[in-house]
Amino acid sequence: MSRMSLPEKSWVFYDWANSAYSILITTAVFPLYFKAAANEAGLVASTSTAYWGYANSIATLLISVCAPILGIIADFKGFKKRFFTFFFALGIVFTLLLAVVPNDQWLLLLICYMVTVIGFGGTNIFYDAFLVDVTTDERMNRISSRGFAMGYIGCTIPFLISIALILLSQKEIIPLSVTVASQAAFAITALWWGLFTIPLLKNVKQVYYKERVPNPITNGFKQLFSTFKKIRQYRPLFLFLIAYFFYIDGVNTIITMSTAYGSDLGITSTNLLIILFATQVVAAPFAILYGKLADNFKGKTMLLVGISVYIVICIYAYFLKTTLDFWILAMLVASSQGGIQALSRSYFAKLVPKENANEFFGFYSIFYKFAAILGPFLVGITAQMTGNTNSGVFSLIILFIIGGIILLRVPEATTSAKSNLSL
């Protein structure tokens, strides 16, 4: 792969920036912090896990409802960067608030977390759509995969700093309580996210756009209705979105519920944090590997490989009992988590008309976000009904099987396929 351009580097660097949120808020420290706060309030483990699942479902539902219209409006000249900046600021502010809300206010913590999910998710709509502005079709697989790899590498730094603070406070080596150390981790997350987003804000521009029209919001709703009626006519795009909806639901659920799941199994917080750190380290080279293999074996083939790995993960999770089992499960996730997400993004970007990229990525986002509603809810309600999270994780296997079957019917992303999508 030839040397990356400045816009490509700046775009890739945003994965480095927002990965601190992904690991510390979504996956590692905050879930444990919330579980501890809920436990202090008298909630049983399965109930707090269920509330965690419901919170993720509600927050993703809210951003999903807005995603398509936001995407259509952002296709007009000058809007994409504005929307990106708004949601970025929203995510930063409420991540900082997590550091100051008292830990005995578990419901308020959960509400603030939900707003950060909206900010983070909204920002990613436009970040993903910027892929068409920074690179070519031929380079998309590797640039998208390089972004995920940078994210996995970059998150290890704030993760290590935060975990060091928490572990040192647990052993009373530093004069901080575990609560204060955790709150410091939330502040570090916000600062890391903000600082390393500057290159994208400075160097990435909206290259493909539609000229502005009077009343862009009104016109946006009209275009939304028109596109929604037409989208089913574009078979490759429509089939891919349906397949994506199912398999990414399982991927997202495993990401968002993994820490709570491990906690319910009795794995200590220290072991969970070490496992999550190792997962990020292992995932980085595998994300790059997926991008390289996709150039040789086609993107759809590698997506099917990733789906197959996740089917194995669901089966193995049902029998999970020990910390060693959780280690094995985490390494399996690390082998495909970044690759399947990166190639889904680049596969879709190759299919869409560039001047309508935000519009289509709005639909991509709504499928992504709605896919993050069913899985956590399924795991949450199963945990409450059976008192056993393993069964909920195993039930996700059906999502991967359905997604894989539909993906088999999707044509490979090519210029000819893309030409059939022009509106």
Residues 361-383, mean pLDDT to the nearest whole number: 69
The token pair at 283 is 């995932």
Is residue 362 assigned to a domain? yes
* Residue 364 or 330, more confident: 330
Most confident of the following: 69-73, 170-174, 206-210, 218-222: 170-174
Number of folded domains that form the chain: 1
Return the percentage of the chain with pLDDT > 90, whole number.
23
pLDDT at 183: 93
Q: Is the pLDDT of residue 190 over 90?
A: yes
In three-state form (DSSP H/G/I as H, E/B as E, the rest C), the secondary structure along 264-292 is: HCCCCHHHHHHHHHHHHHHHHHHHHHHHH
Is residue 320 assigned to a domain? yes
Is residue 3 assigned to a domain? no
Is residue 1 assigned to a domain? no
pLDDT in tens, 45-68: 778 878 887 888 788 778 877 777
pLDDT at 388: 67
Q: Categorize the per-residue pLDDT at 423 as very low, low, confident or very high, splitting at 50, 70 and 90.
A: very low
Nearest to 393 by CA among 335, 322, 311, 303: 311
Task: Give every CB contact of residue 254 below 8 A, 6+ residues apart in sequence.
Answer: 310, 313, 333, 393, 396
Least confident segment among 146-150, 286-290, 383-387: 383-387
* Residue 417 or 179, more confident: 179
* Residue 81 or 387, more confident: 81
Dihedrals phi, psi of 353, to nearest 5 degrees: -65, 130
Residues 362-384, mean pLDDT to the nearest whole number: 69
Q: What is the CA radius of gyration of the chain?
A: 20
Is residue 210 assigned to a domain? no
Is residue 376 assigned to a domain? yes
pTM higher than 0.95 for the full model? no
* Residue 182 or 44, more confident: 182
Cα separation, 190 vs 108, in Å, equals: 18
Give residue 159's domain range. 8-205+219-419
Q: Categorize the per-residue pLDDT at 233 as very low, low, confident or very high, splitting at 50, 70 and 90.
A: low
pLDDT at 398: 84
* Residue 227 or 93, more confident: 93
CATH code (residue 98):
1.20.1250.20
Nearest to 260 by CA among 16, 17, 37, 19: 37
pLDDT at 94: 96
Phi-psi region of 407 (alpha: psi -120 to 50; beta: other; left: phi over 0): alpha
Cα separation, 97 vs 167, in Å, equals: 23
pLDDT at 417: 44
Return the percentage of the chain with pLDDT > 70, whole number.
84
Q: Is the pLDDT of residue 218 over 70?
A: no
Q: Categorize the per-residue pLDDT at 420 as very low, low, confident or very high, splitting at 50, 70 and 90.
A: very low
Q: Categorize the per-residue pLDDT at 415 as very low, low, confident or very high, splitting at 50, 70 and 90.
A: very low
Q: Categorize the per-residue pLDDT at 231 as very low, low, confident or very high, splitting at 50, 70 and 90.
A: low
pLDDT in tens, 306-348: 999 999 988 888 787 788 888 888 899 889 888 898 888 888 8
Q: Is the pLDDT of residue 188 over 90?
A: yes
Dihedrals phi, psi of 76, to nearest 5 degrees: -75, 150
Is residue 129 assigned to a domain? yes
Is residue 2 assigned to a domain? no
Nearest to 367 by CA among 256, 246, 233: 246
Most confident of the following: 11-20, 62-71, 341-350: 11-20
Distances from the Cα of 64 to the Cα of 77, 122, 179, 371, angstroms: 23, 9, 33, 10
